[in-house]
Each structure stands twice: as C-alpha cells, then as structure tokens.
Structure 1
C-alpha cells in the first residue's frame, strides 16, 4: 500500500530561498527553474510572491535596492516573516546589463546593512551568463559568497540543499522585534494559504471565512461515517443523498474528494471534506486526488481529522501521518486531531487505553496530544459539540463558540 514505508526518511523540511534582485523577469525565471515549474512565478509586481514544491520554498522578494520604496521596513519584516525563522539561502540575481563590479558590490553592501554581515555566508550571486560570472569571480573571495549562472541554478540548488539543509540564516532582530515578525508570519500565512477569489466573496464583497474540516486516513477506518456524524449533528433530517456514501466494503467506497457545507455552526460556515485512501492499490490516479485535497488541506483555515479505528492498527497506519505529510507537502500534524472511531467498543478508560497502546499513543503525541473519540452509531450530538470545542480551544477558530447544541441554522448546501 505504501511501498518501502520503513525505508522512507522522516518528514523533510523544505529548503527556503529568498530571491532578491532588481529585475522581476529574471527572478521569475530563476524561481521557475528552481521549482521545475514554468508557471510558479508569472506576475510582474514589486511585492512578495511565494511558491513551493516538495523540496523548495521560494520567496520572490521585492526590489530592496529601490530608493523610492515607500515602506522598506514593512518589506523587510514581511520577507523575514515568510522565511521564518530564517531562509537557508539568499539568491541575488543580476542581469548582464547590470553586472558591473561597482553596482553589484553596492548591492551586497546594502544587503549586509539590512540583514547583517552574516548574510554573505548564505548568499549566492546568480548571473545571467558565463561571461558576467567570470567578470565578477573575484567577488567570491572578497565577500566569501558563491557564484553561479542561470544555466545550472536548478542543479546547484539541489546540491546546496543536500549540503546545508539545516543551516538557516538567523536574523539578529536588531531593528525589528521577533514578536512582530512572528505575528506577521501568522497573518501572511493565513492570507497566502486562503486567498480570496471571485467565487469566495459574498454579494457585498466580503471574504468568505469558511473553515475546512478534512478527514484523512486509510479505507475502512470510518472517515465517511465520521463526516456524516458531523453533518447530522447540524441537521438530523438529512437524507442519504445529502450525506457521504458509507458502507462496509472490501474496496474503497470513497474514490474522490467530496465536499458538503454546513452553513454556520458556532458562528462561521464549515466545509466538511471526505477523502479517499491515497495509498490504496485500487485508487486510480492518486496524485490527481491528492492535488484536489490540497485545495482544502492547506496551512491556515483548516483542521485535519486523522481517522483511526480502535482495535485495528496496521503497518500502513503506523506510517500514515508521515506518508500524508509527504504527499501534501507540509507538517499537517500541527493542524491535526486524531479521531478514534468505534468508541462504543471501548470498555475502559480512554486515556489508559491510548497510553497502553503504543502505536496509537505515538501518533497522538506526534499530533501534539490532540485526539477525540467518536461513536458513529450514536445520534448524540454532544460528541460533535465536544470536538468543535476542542478545535476552538486549540486554534481559536470558533470565536463565537457557545457550549450548547449546534445551531438549527446549520443547514447543508
């Protein structure tokens, strides 16, 4: 199901690159080559743009050398927030028309003034052609930096990633508070991962604040049944056409990502997303379904429920969290609650059970100790209310939460 699962490395941290320079088109080109994606950077604007793949996160920064910049401090704070706690690498891109020694030297000195002299240990000068690279080769010794050309930048970045994956640049916060950067990081991450689009706006132009609750896990653990338990807590009169398909079967019942929307439980709309078992041998085109899941399963406004069945624990489930993190490209454990199904089978104290059963305990601990018990044969809405309460306690996502039954307005779209 998950081939060579025991040989897979731990969750890989992404190699973060801050892309600097004056020419937007050149920076876009370099970023696209690093990410092996010609459409990663296409906009022409003097603002931060972020793109990433499984190995790299690239922050295409605005022009720090523009003396007419209206808010230079904000740009610096934003870059450090997007790369927090610090980028692994700074790339200074220089086109052939501006590859004069005087100008490039002034740019490096400017960067030292902004980020500190230690930046040069993490700085690479990328030139547009070999001729420019040879003409500036002595800057390598002068500033102890590295030089490369756009021709081999993709391979060089892979080499640098393997050589110094965990050596991040540490900003000294001489001019800006670290708390300011952290708060800005949270705000930018939410905005980046949940950008408003034309179909996400209400008639008055307000941005939709729908929360995604995404259920993940292997086939047969009770993902769809748990999703239906959540939906039914909002309206017990729902018919089968409004619920997710759920039945006992030796083959996966859920074969694609499916979505239902609850209007306003606890003051905000909720999107419930049921997903297939991405690693099941009978699932066709699994990467297509993973990409669809990524639309809802992103850092920011989402809560992930990793569904496990009490009394059943396979080798695949022992590696499921790491496998999902590799597939989705981020540490989902930071936004995950382990949902234990078949709670009606538990005849003893649940804390005692989880502590004594190491496989369950290990996954729960990786998810920050967050777990919840579901009995999908019960129509008691208290278990859903308790789950929502935990979500609110962990991430403050239901600011209007009241400890009472789900509102009658929780209708299904």
Structure 2
C-alpha cells in the first residue's frame, strides 16, 4: 500500500489471448480507436491520463520472442506498470482456463503481479461464477464495461509493479528503454503521433534480433557452470537467484531449457540458453525440450557452445555433434565452438591434448578448429572475452565490445 496519490498519467499493460479484446479494452480506457492491431506485436497508445501498452500474447507457447516481449513491456513501463489488465475471451471462461492464465502470469512476472492485476470477464454470468477467484488470488474481477472509470481507483493505493529481475539484468531493460523511446519519437515525428492524441504506434520493427548463445552437452560436463562464468564476467555481484543452477552431480541438474538475458559484457542484449542433456534416459519429454531449444538455435542467429569436460571424454560423446545435428535439424557445426571445461586439470599444451585424442580432434576439426578452454573456478574474466572473440563475426555482432570496454565492464567489481 502507498499513501502517495497516483501519478497524473497511469501506465496500464493489456494482457490476453485475443488481440481484438485487448484492443476493445484499450480503446475504452483511451476513449478513442487507437488500437486496431490483429497481430502479435506490442503497441503503445497514450493520452495525458493513460499510457496503454497492448502486449503480444504471453500465453502463446510457440512465440519465438517471449523474453523480448517481457523486456519491451518492462522497458516501456519502467519501473513497472501501475496496472495489468487480463482480458478473458468467451472461449476461456471455465475456471480451469482462467486459473491457468493467472498462474502463467505469476510464473512469468512473479507472484506479486496479482496485487496489480484486474481480470475482465466477457459477461455477468462468468463474473458471478468466478467471483471466488478474487480472494484466492488477491485480484480484482470486473465486467468489461467498467474499465475507464475504474482504472484510476484501482491504482489509488498502490505503488507501480516492480519486476523481480531473476532472468534479465535490469541494465538490459533500462538500455532497451532508451532505444524504444527513440523508436517512438521517430514515429511521432514521422506523422504517427502517440502522445496526447489517443493514437497508437507499434514497435515491431524496433525489436532487436537478440543473439543466442546455446550450451549443449551431456550431464556433468559443466554447461551451467560455464553459463555462469559468462554471466559473472559482466556482473560479479549477481546473486544465486540470477544464476543458472549448477552443482556437481551424476544426475541431471538442468531438466529443461533455462534462459538468462544480459547486456554485459557484450554491449548488446545476449540470450544465454542452458539446456538439459537431450540423450539422458531420465529426461522426461525430451523431444519437447529439443523443440524449445530449436526456437533459440537458428542458423545465423546463435552460436553453439558444445561443452565437453576436458578429462572425461566418454564413448557417449563420440559422434555427439552428428547426433545433435540430427535432433536440431541443421549443421550446427557451422556455428559451434567446442568449449572444454575443467581447464585447471590440463597439464601441458591444449593443442597437444586434443591431437592425442582422435575422437575429440575430429569434433574440433568438424567445427573449423574453433575451441576454447574454461577454468570455471578461475576469476580471470579475460577467458570469457577470448571466447567471445571466437564467435563468428563477433566484431560486427558486438561492435561496442573491445578490449577496453570489456575491461571497464568486467573489472569494476
């Protein structure tokens, strides 16, 4: 609760499966026909009283940019929306469907979203039949027609929603905010005004193509530890909740694709994707995890780090490159760096070590001799920079990243 009066302009995020329903609610609040999109893009409309962010469908399991949608929403509403409105369509008014959507939002944004959430229902029958959800989830329920008059009252005793930055660095959001403001300003100047006219503009063309770093390999090779080495190279103050779960174990620790987005030390948003062992017999629904990985692992938009433990190259890893290519459906070797972990165990030259092991040498040669060694227990962050420089065309992908900027970003701790 807050004793402060609500700001003159309130920020409202519209959520829901159907764009036409989000459009109706947004237009009710703005008192205009600002929204008419039918596509899965993020659109902004403003008056002096309201800033309405009409979001893409966060419930679309096939969305290729779920993380980017969240970042854009938080950037445009920074530090956070005053209110979320979830529009329920007539086909999904069964209690199980409504509960599933609310639970999905809690999973995406954190449990505190319900303190800022209004659920609108398409008719009075569903409004009355689902009334008990108000107490269960600590939300508001409302018929559609009361939107504009009620928004300010709903926000009167609450501070803006604050996102729990676990998967994304707040720096990513603040820098994205600057970029989006420039995009929207160009739209205003180009004859598509957003502010004070109740009109809307989309930022679909301004969504950056986030570069993905995918870590693949068997259980116990050090995928999660390596991902954390990359994360902490840019920010050594990250707490455990902001890192990938990593612990020595013969059992799979990572059981699904895990994603973190960071700006540091790359100078541009990068998505790190830690994956489960697709070949582990104990992994449930393995094909579903492979399909999720495919969304991030696209030719030209990613680099694959094939993680192998230096002193434990097993029979299961013979032919692993071909097996992964078969699962993912393309020759990942064209975009793969072999990442050897446990470098502290190395005695002598790495080149001699590889040359002496024919199966390992074959994998390295198949990846155009791109390989790198990590000492995950080391605080030497330069090993991350040396890895980044082996990413094909890294200097055009990360033009702001130089030895000088890397040192300034990574050694401030």
TM-score, with structure 1 as normaliser? 0.49
